Structure 1
Amino acid sequence: MQSRSPTSPRGAAPVDIPRLLEDMFAAAVAVAQPELRVRAFLPEPPRGKTLVIGAGKASAAMARALEAHWHGPLEGLVVTRYGYGVPCERIEVVEAAHPVPDEAGLRAAQRMLECVSGLSEDDLVICLISGGGSALLPLPAPGLTLEAKQAINRALLASGATIAEMNCVRRHLSAIKGGRLAAACHPARVVNLIISDVPADSAADVASGPTVPDATTCADALGILERYAIDVPDPLRAQLKSAELETLKPGDARLSRVESHFIATPQMALEAAAQCAAKQGVDVHILGDSIEGEAREVGTVMAGIARQIAQRGQPFRTPCILLSGGETTVTVRGTGRGGRNVEFLLSLGLALNGLPQVHALAGDTDGVDGQEDIAGARLAPDTLARARAAGIDPAASLDNNDGHGFFQALGDSLVTGPTHTNVNDFRAIYIGGETATA
């Protein structure tokens, strides 16, 4: 399935397009590695003790990078996804389940609150936050069981709710998120080092904001649950209606010594990928780092843009690459294996219908698309034809939410293993050919 650009950009040697797209994905992941990003944001050591806490798929790698550059006493606890731990000498690393939380995450959250109790104004807490922390710190609000929270989380994941909507609910059903962990650190200074995996780099949405204020309300959370027809226990509904589960708001005195730094973002990753393509002489256009919506609908829209470029030279000349990031959603109606990037890619392929010289790659920069240890997949002009020749119906696969099954059967899955970072989804579409000169 090798493909080289039929007319090399700017007279250069032909470019191996599938390889270029994979190199761009690798560049996006590489620029967001904690070992490159943590050091520049470290604060000065305090007069008191330094405590490190954190949660997310990148938290263990962030902790190791911090240890390598920290001079002085250091201790702490971070929790990451199973398989994403890395060895640390002074910071304990705990692994737990993602995206549906488990007992290991619950125990880690309880211990983390205990670790930060009794701190003084002279102490420093460095909080290492990255995507995935919502599931990895599943401490239910009073009166809510872990089992109930797991059920609500599964329903949210299948509902088509946006990440902001899901995290609004998660914050209000938690005893540690929505600023509550930072409040437990008070009066110590808290420095958040955040690797963003959410649209618009909202600190309250990365890991559901355990150490930052939350502007949403219990009423907002209840409205989301009702909008997606998600069942919740009657006592919980009453708690939300009474605002008993309200989060910490901007201006809360307990958060006055909290500061946050985004050390890696989706936009940074897209720019690194664009630079990679530019070295091969291919024009790149970044469409946005926070594109949301149903994955299959975004795929259809992107196909329309690609077709206009290929056939009309509008709004960009060929050859070129369209880059985008963000977090699409999937409303699960079938019984397939997901996830949102492969659903986008399969929808894109169906809408393109074998359009010549169009290739694409989509994947999650953390190496996990949905609940599979598969980052994403690749699409080529012959993908649909190869699938049909193998007896696979692309439209039926999409209807069954089975993007992973579809691309894996063709040998087109993108498998990276744990990347130890997480700067959201990556989508690249190459449109080949040469735009005719008027």
Structure 2
Amino acid sequence: MIVEQKTLLTAIFRAAVAAADPELTIRRHLPPKPKGRTIVIGAGKGAAQMAAAFDKAWDAPLEGLVVTRYGYGATCDRIEVIEAAHPVPDRAGLEAGRRLLEKVSGLSEDDLVVALISGGGSALLPAPPDSLTLADEIVVNEALLASGAPIAAMNTVRKHVSRIKGGRLAAMAFPARVVSLVVSDIPGDNPALVASGPTVPDDAGREEALRIVETYGMALPPAVMAHLRSPAADAPRPGDPHFRRNEVRVIASAAVSLEAAAAEARRQDVEAVILSDSIEGEARDVGSVHAAIAREVATRDRPFRKPVLILSGGETTVTLRARGRGGRNSEFLLSFAIGIDGVPGIHALAADTDGIDGSEDNAGAFADGTTVARMRAAGADAKALLAANNAWTAFNSVGDLFVTGPTGTNVNDLRAMLVR
């Protein structure tokens, strides 16, 4: 891909991430100071950076604990940061969950709990019910990740196989007031589904969780199925009096970041359009549809006139057919590259705003109309690699991986297609 186009697309990505920077968003949403203690808790890929920003902005006593993914830590003066495994839980996450529950126990109505929640918290907070084990929760996560279910459906199941999700962490803090500051990675921005809502309840019951398991053909351990069929799986509902003093604020989202990306494009004299901030579906199918739109613009100047930057957000899914390397953004983009093969004037970037796409260390990748031909020249068969869920290998073969490192936030995926 032409360096100039990569530079522009990179600037678009960075503008989107900057709009979700905790340093900016946290300060706008500081709650009133309490009479009693201030306890900060949190989980997610952006939790450590959120904690650092809150620590800096809060000019009163506080204490706290947050958990984030390995390699995503940040330095805080008064808040402890624990790192654990993502996307499959481990014992470090189990210990973090235990300590968070302990942290909010025994509080009074004069105390304040500030919950810093971002995407990724579901895997980082394993807390299986008494009848289940960490191994059971790992199997549940692996089955969900391989199922092709959308993130909202996955988190509905997760919250019914937990002692901490589905509002249970906030219920444990009662009678203290809980203020949840949420960075949303969920299409539609329902805060109860971000990180499976450890401090935010919703109305989806275990019947819905069972329906999702059946719909996506998940093979879960008998002990897990027995738990899901029992009243013990029921999560508290929004009307529960434990939540009457609580407050929830979505402080960053894909919608805001896409608007920032569009503004950056216009600043660089390129018109921008946003298709949607909540696109879901199989990554390769969404890639094919986006490719068709880009081709239509490139060849017929419709539905948008070129030059134009076409943006979309949301979270696609990948149904695993093989054990390849990559993530949903690189899979989307490989399908997109196949769809625009040979069409000049199209340049694209697809990346996860947290800086990590799936199993590797890249945020995503770049593609244009020459990508598939360059892969072929490098000995890589784009269609075969897509079939094998091996998009990382495809883009690595032509040097088009997009590597940013952890960004400190997580507002889902950014797809940017520039048509000249």
Question: Is the TM-score greater than 0.5?
Answer: yes
Whether contact under 8 Å (2:341, 2:373) holds in the other structure is: no
> Partner of 1:204 in structure 2?
192
Measure, in 2, the Cα distance between the counterparts of 1:125 and 1:26: 32
Q: Secondary structure in 1 aligned to 2:45?
A: coil
State how 1:383-394 maps to structure 2 within 5 Å: 383-394=371-382
Measure, in 2, the Cα distance between the counterparts of 1:40 and 1:159: 38
State how 1:156-175 maps to structure 2 within 5 Å: 156-175=144-163
Percentage of identical aligned residues: 58
Whether contact under 8 Å (2:205, 2:235) holds in the other structure is: yes
Q: Which amino acid aligns with 2:320?
A: V
> Partner of 1:155 in structure 2?
143
Structure 1 vs Structure 2 CA RMSD: 1.0
Segments of 4+ moved more than 6 angstroms: none
Q: Deviations over 1:390-421 (max 9, x none)?
A: 11100001001111111112110000011110
> Partner of 1:401 in structure 2?
389
Quick check: 1:282 aligned with 2:270? Answer: yes
Q: Which amino acid aligns with 1:286?
A: I
Measure, in 1, the Cα distance between the counterparts of 2:286 and 2:158: 26
TM-score normalised by structure 2 residue count: 0.98
Q: CA deviation at 1:208?
A: 0.3
Quick check: 1:183 aligned with 2:176? Answer: no
Report the more deviating stretch, 236-245 or 281-290.
236-245
Quick check: 1:100 aligned with 2:88? Answer: yes
Unaligned residue ranges in structure 1 (runs of 5+): 4-15, 433-438
Measure, in 2, the Cα distance between the counterparts of 1:2 and 1:352: 16
State how 1:295-314 maps to structure 2 within 5 Å: 295-314=283-302
Quick check: 1:357 aligned with 2:345? Answer: yes
Measure, in 1, the Cα distance between the counterparts of 2:369 and 2:339: 11
> Partner of 2:213 in structure 1?
225
Measure, in 2, the Cα distance between the counterparts of 1:306 and 1:417: 29
Quick check: 1:127 aligned with 2:115? Answer: yes
Whether contact under 8 Å (1:130, 1:197) holds in the other structure is: yes
Whether contact under 8 Å (2:136, 2:224) holds in the other structure is: no
> Partner of 1:426 in structure 2?
414
Measure, in 2, the Cα distance between the counterparts of 1:81 and 1:238: 30
> Partner of 1:18 in structure 2?
6
Q: CA deviation at 1:268?
A: 0.9
Q: Deviations over 1:249-280 (max 9, x none)?
A: 12010111110111111011111111111011
Q: CA deviation at 1:244?
A: 2.2
Quick check: 1:377 aligned with 2:357? Answer: no
Return the match for 2:311 from 320, 323, 326.
Answer: 323
Quick check: 1:257 aligned with 2:245? Answer: yes
Measure, in 1, the Cα distance between the counterparts of 2:60 and 2:138: 40
Whether contact under 8 Å (1:183, 1:254) holds in the other structure is: yes
Q: Secondary structure in 2 aligned to 1:17?
A: helix
Measure, in 2, the Cα distance between the counterparts of 1:85 and 1:335: 29
Quick check: 1:2 aligned with 2:2? Answer: yes
Measure, in 1, the Cα distance between the counterparts of 2:352 and 2:227: 36
Whether contact under 8 Å (1:219, 1:243) holds in the other structure is: no
Return the match for 1:76 from 61, 64, 87.
Answer: 64
Q: Which amino acid aligns with 1:271?
A: E
Distance verdict in 2 for CA 1:328–1:66, change over 3 Å:
same
Measure, in 1, the Cα distance between the counterparts of 2:405 and 2:221: 38
- The aligned length equals 420
Measure, in 2, the Cα distance between the counterparts of 1:416 and 1:188: 39
Q: Which amino acid aligns with 2:369?
A: P
Whether contact under 8 Å (2:161, 2:227) holds in the other structure is: no
Measure, in 1, the Cα distance between the counterparts of 2:162 and 2:232: 12
Measure, in 1, the Cα distance between the counterparts of 2:300 and 2:117: 44
Whether contact under 8 Å (1:286, 1:324) holds in the other structure is: yes
Q: Secondary structure in 2 aligned to 1:205?
A: helix
> Partner of 1:9 in structure 2?
none
> Partner of 1:111 in structure 2?
99
Q: Which amino acid aligns with 1:76?
A: G
Measure, in 2, the Cα distance between the counterparts of 1:154 and 1:20: 37
Q: Deviations over 1:293-322 (max 9, x none)?
A: 000000111111111111111111011010
Q: Which amino acid aligns with 1:206?
A: V
Whether contact under 8 Å (2:143, 2:220) holds in the other structure is: no
Q: CA deviation at 1:79?
A: 0.4
Q: Which amino acid aligns with 1:49?
A: R
Q: Which amino acid aligns with 1:98?
A: H
> Partner of 1:37 in structure 2?
25
Q: Secondary structure in 2 aligned to 1:285?
A: strand
> Partner of 1:65 in structure 2?
53
Q: Deviations over 1:78-129 (max 9, x none)?
A: 0011011111111111000001010000001001101111111100000000
State how 1:231-270 maps to structure 2 within 5 Å: 231-270=219-258
Q: Which amino acid aligns with 2:177?
A: R
Return the match for 2:181 from 193, 203, 209.
Answer: 193
Measure, in 2, the Cα distance between the counterparts of 1:159 and 1:82: 25
> Partner of 1:12 in structure 2?
none
Measure, in 2, the Cα distance between the counterparts of 1:380 and 1:421: 27
Measure, in 2, the Cα distance between the counterparts of 1:159 and 1:262: 28
Q: Which amino acid aligns with 2:98?
A: Q
Unaligned residue ranges in structure 2 (runs of 5+): none
Measure, in 2, the Cα distance between the counterparts of 1:371 and 1:113: 30
Q: CA deviation at 1:232?
A: 2.3
